[in-house]
Chain A
Amino acid sequence: MKFSEEFEARFAEMVTHYPIKRSVLVPTLLYVQDETGFLSDEVIAEIASRLDLTELDVRNVISYYSMLTTKPRGKFNVQVCTNISCMVRGGEDILDHCKKKLGIGNKGTTPDGLFSLEEVECIGACSWAPAAQVNYDFHENLTAEKIDRVLDEYKNKGTQ
């Protein structure tokens, strides 16, 4: 299993931060996933062996965290918050709008593999609600027009 040099350098440094190796697991899984898109069996086996864990151990951990996934997602993961602060400011309308615009449901992925959509819990943007994250980017004070613009921008970027 080959990962990028950037990842390897980060991993090599991060393991030294802890008295016990497995401690590096959670952030490592997220960084790997950023590169590979999802955590495949192969990735799991590799990480398990690096950290002297069983694959079961690693799977137990992956399945706990909502950002980690063992299934492929779209290139841009649109995560719309509908939690209370966003909800009272129309977060659900934003989600519905995205569903219509992308033509997919919650946890769906567009056929071109560009977008997937996810309804998420509070992302820490309550004072700027309604909000969404596309991958790690925050988009706040959303309106239907604004999310349209945002999605178009990603689409351009993704198809360039």
Chain B
Amino acid sequence: MTKSLNDSVCMAFLVSHPDEVRVVSRRFGQGATNLERYLELDGYKAVRKALSMEPDAIITEVKNSGLRGRGGAGFSTGMKWSFVPKQSAKPKYVLCNGDESEPGTCKDRLIFEHDPHSVIEGVMIAGLAVGARSGYIYIRGEYRYLSVIMQKAIRDAYAKGFLGRNIFGSGRDFDIYWHGGAGAYEVGEESALMESLEGKRGIPRIRPPFPAVVGLWGGPTVINNAETLASVPPIILGGADWYAKIGTPKNGGTRLFCLSGNLAKPGVYELPMGYNLKQMIYDVGGGIPNGRNLKAVVPGGSSTPCLTADEIDVAMDFDSVAKAGSMLGSGGVVVIDDAQCMVKFALRTMKFYQHESCGWCIPCREGTDWLKKTLIRFHAGGGLKKDIDNVQYLSENMLGRTFCPLGDAAAMPTIAFVQKFRREFEDHLEGRPCPFEKEGAVEQLPVFAD
């Protein structure tokens, strides 16, 4: 069952736009999975440079670059590294989060596909910075072909002596291992990922202690998103100032934005931090096709609250999007046109979280299920007026009270859907099925008495 029909079916399409600044994607489409080719394209120069630097100097460089986590939360990467204790009785680890499962997000996939060695290099530099001697690259189970690519890259690096004992003749050792998931969004959460890597159910851990202090097998662990780590070698080579200047203050560098949804030219584009969302949609993404109009945008993956058509004049960096009431998240920009039903969109989003909730804590386990059930009925025209408030009430009861952020990820967008598209919810009431659906497309449910 493992074999592909032919290898090409997996290759994702590359796009380009003049506004792109290619840092992470500079080797995309250049054949850099081949180690020789990678070396020609400045490969493993950064790690060699890092080997000659003091760990603190590496951390300072990354801090000054303004690099913030590309996994979703946007935490300063250099800062995160600096939390790892210098001394530790247990081994330290670097963990690359390649679980990429946030709906709307498909960027790590391209990095693994086109530039696996850059991730390896990033992991190594992180390891040198925090004093770890081994790292794991966790790739979601569905990305089997990428696992094959990554495993080969690791093997090639070992063969060259870049990994293992005495790397680059520096007298230091460093090991990197591939690890694979088997289908679970929650496993992308950092502590659940560690559980999964330890061979367990992907249930998050109680914090504190934080992974930087007690992580994998109890050792201090740095966990970063694949894109974050792939951004590190260019920073080491190009310098913090160069990288920082590409973005906006406190938001250094570029981001792989995954443009999807109702766009003429969807695709993954590498744009500077702070790039205007409106421009991203209408210029980079080619605007809304089929003569339709923009209704809403989910700016950073399905867990971020949507922005309405008149809220999109916003700079796409962590701080500006937060100010606009949403989050930059994982870089998945999902564009929704006016042919889409927002109730259905809310339902599909909730269906995802209901399916992916790990079930550990009450509010998320029960809340996502009830929200999904209620939204199904709603969408089918079985809703009551009080259900609109109920959906919001339930979401608010989850928000900030769950064990891990998945509960928030389910609640936040839902609250936004209700608040911003209450009219559409009202259009579904009292036995009126979805006005956006073809007649008979949704099975109509009975209306419950109030």
Contacts and interface: CB of A to CB of B under 8 A. Distances in A.
B228 interface: no
B441 to A, nearest CB: 9
Could you say which of A18, A19, A136 has the most chain B C-beta atoms within 10 Å of its C-beta?
Answer: A136
Contact of A22 (B180, B199, B298, B348): B199
A27 B335 CA distance: 35
B105 A126 contact: yes
Contacts of A83: 103, 302, 348, 352
A100 interface: no
A26 B49 CA distance: 36
Interface size for chain B: under 10, 10 to 19, 20 to 34, or 35 or more residues?
35 or more
A21 B184 CA distance: 22
Contacts of A64: 184, 201-202, 358
B181 A128 contact: no
Nearest to A131: B106
A129 interface: yes
A102 interface: no
Contacts of A122: 101-105, 185, 302, 352
Contact of A23 (B12, B13, B197, B355): B197
B144 to A, nearest CB: 4
A121 B103 contact: yes
B183 to A, nearest CB: 3
B200 A61 contact: yes
Contact of B103 (A35, A66, A126): A126
Interface in A34-78: 34-35, 37, 51, 60-61, 64-68, 75, 77
Contact of B142 (A18, A61, A89, A133): A133
Interface in B172-217: 177, 179-185, 196-202, 217
5 contacts: A23-B199, A66-B355, A126-B103, A127-B268, A136-B142
Interface of A: 17-20, 22-27, 29-30, 34-35, 37, 51, 60-61, 64-68, 75, 77, 82-85, 87-89, 121-129, 133, 135-141, 153-154, 157
